[in-house]
Amino acid sequence: MSAHNEDTPELIGDRFIRAGSIMLEASADAAGQRLDQWLASQLGPDMSRSRVQMLIKQGAVTVGGKMIDEAKRKMIAGDSVSVVMPEPEPAEPLGENITLDVLYEDDELIVINKPAGLVVHPGAGNWTGTLVNALIHHCGDSLSGIGGVRRPGIVHRLDKETSGVMVVAKTDRAHKALSEAFADHGLTGDLERAYQALVWGIPQRPSGTVDAPLGRAADRVRRAVVPSGRDDARHAITHFTVQERFGEAQQAFATASLVECRLETGRTHQIRVHMAHIGHPVVGDPDYGQAFRTKANRLPDPLKTLVKAFPRQALHARLLAFRHPATHLTMRFEAPIPGDMEELVSGFRKL
């Protein structure tokens, strides 16, 4: 296989992330392969197969000078393939000047400490004021384009009211590598996630594992533990360790624990559902801790006032470690418990 960029013939190292025309020639071992499959293998880690398929549909790929619009077209040895790499399209939605707590940033990715109350991605009821809007404004032209659009690549999410460390891709290469790491939950690479949660009650054991599949609840917004044979059941495992215990064990109505939860899988609302499933819902959780709301009435003041006024689930993504997609070095980031949650924990400590 040989390749060159018509705009900068000698610029081989980063040719795949710049606009221009890339010329490729198929070798003998390419014969019989699908066009999209072969192109993805030749264009390297910066180009996903889905992105190649999009370019083919857009008429950006020619073979022997003829435009090809079928991704499944079979390759023939000696085929001369040209790929036109367009400039990334303007970002949608628009960027917004929203303050970000940036823990780290380079050309490939950005790591932020997300505050509680910030929605990650625009959607119904939240078309503006999201983390994506903030990142588009903050990163600007340093976004090389995810799928051909100047936008940040979201590879994992935190609930609106959950705070803590998040990593976001700025390039196709980073998006592909990080997405794969999160998809297999770090089984083939370095991925570590640890959360801190203030939960009601004191678990019987100092540590344990919740292995219970999750699926949609009746209202289709929440999640629930479901039978493993159900069509929408998704494998879910959470490991927890009790870090602190608050209150007297014999006064179960006035006890709570600070626990660390480590994810072996990453399902929607996983920690919140699993902790509620074992009888220790997250304090302040409006979806999975409703049955424990009256417990606050039995607490002494001023703790009772603190708990009743706390507006969210007391859950924080404390630690995130992953392998950098370009340097392949393991990077590790931590964020302390935010002030509102620390005040709540301190209140329980006084018990």
Domain range spanning residue 117? 88-183
CB 197 within 8 A of CB 263: no
pTM (whole model) above 0.85 = no
14 pLDDT above the threshold of 80: no
C-beta of residue 138 within 8 angstroms of C-beta of residue 100: yes
Count CB-CB contacts under 10 A for residue 338.
16
Residue 238, phi-psi category: left (phi > 0), alpha (psi -120 to 50), beta (remainder):
beta
Mean pLDDT of the chain: 86
Q: Which residue has the higher pLDDT, 66 or 333?
A: 333
Verify that 197 and 323 share a domain, yes or no. yes
Domain C-terminal end among 21, 55, 85: 85
- Tell me what the mean pLDDT of segment 103-120 comes to: 96
Confidence grade of residue 284 (pLDDT, cut at 50, 70, 90): very high
**Residues 43-64, mean pLDDT to the nearest whole number:** 81
Both 173 and 196 in one domain: the answer is no
Percent of the chain, pLDDT > 90?
55
Residues 35 and 175 in one domain: no
Provide the CATH number for the domain around residue 228: 3.30.2350.10
Instruction: Say what percent of the chain tops pLDDT 70.
Output: 86
* Same domain as 309, residue 270: yes
Higher pLDDT, 249 or 307: 307
Residue 53 vs residue 335, higher pLDDT: 335
Confidence of residue 46 (pLDDT cuts 50, 70, 90): low
Q: pLDDT tens for residues 299-329?
A: 888 999 999 999 999 999 999 999 999 999 9
The stretch 284-301 carries a mean pLDDT of 88
Give the whole-angstrom CA distance, residue 71 versus residue 48.
13
Residues 205 and 340 in one domain: yes
* Residue 159 known to be catalytic: yes
Residue of 36, 46, 79, 159 marked active site: 159
H/E/C letters for each residue in the chain?
CCEEECCCCCCCCCHHHCCEEEEEECCHHHCCCEHHHHHHHHCCCCCCHHHHHHHHHCCCEEECCEECCCCCCECCCCCEEEEEECCCECCCCCCCCCCCCEEEECCCEEEEEECCCCCCCCECCECCCCHHHHHHHHHHHHCCCECCECCCEECCCCCCCCEEEEEEECCHHHHHHHHHHHHCCCCCCCEEEEEEEEEECCCCCCEEEEECCEEECCCCCCEEECCCCCCCCECCEEEEEEEEEECCCCCHHHCEEEEEEEECCCCCCHHHHHHHHCCCCECCCCCCCHHHHHHHHHCCCCHHHHHHHCCCCCEEEEEEEEECCCCCCEEEEECCCCHHHHHHHHHHHCC
Q: Where does the pLDDT of residue 271 fall: very low under 50, low under 70, confident under 90, or very high at 90 and above?
A: very high
* Residue 134 backbone zone (phi > 0: left; psi -120 to 50: alpha; other: beta): alpha
Chosen domain end from 125, 157, 183 = 183
More confidently predicted of 58 and 90: 58
Instruction: With a cut of 70, say whether residue 251 has pLDDT above it.
Output: no
pLDDT attached to residue 53: 87
User: Among residues 36, 53, 85, which one ends one of the domains?
Assistant: 85
Q: Let me know whether 338 and 220 are in one domain.
A: yes
Determine the average pLDDT of the residues in 182-206. Answer: 86
pLDDT for 223 beyond 50: yes
Q: Are residues 164 and 265 in the same domain?
A: no
Specify whether 283 is located in the same domain as 249: yes
Q: Based on the domain organization, do 319 and 206 belong to the same domain?
A: yes
Dist. CA 50–CA 58, nearest whole Å: 12
User: Whole-angstrom distance between the N-terminal and C-terminal Cα of the chain?
Assistant: 70
Summarize the confidence of residues 241-251 as an average pLDDT.
82
Same domain, 126 and 164: yes
Q: 149 and 19, same structural domain?
A: no
Tell me which of 11-25, 171-185, 222-236 is least confident.
11-25
8 pLDDT higher than 60? no
Lowest mean pLDDT across 4-8, 188-192, 277-281, 324-328: 4-8
| pLDDT band per the 50, 70, 90 thresholds, residue 186 | low
pLDDT of residue 11: 31
Same domain flag for 16 and 59: yes
Domain count, the chain: 3
pLDDT of 40 over the 90 cut: no
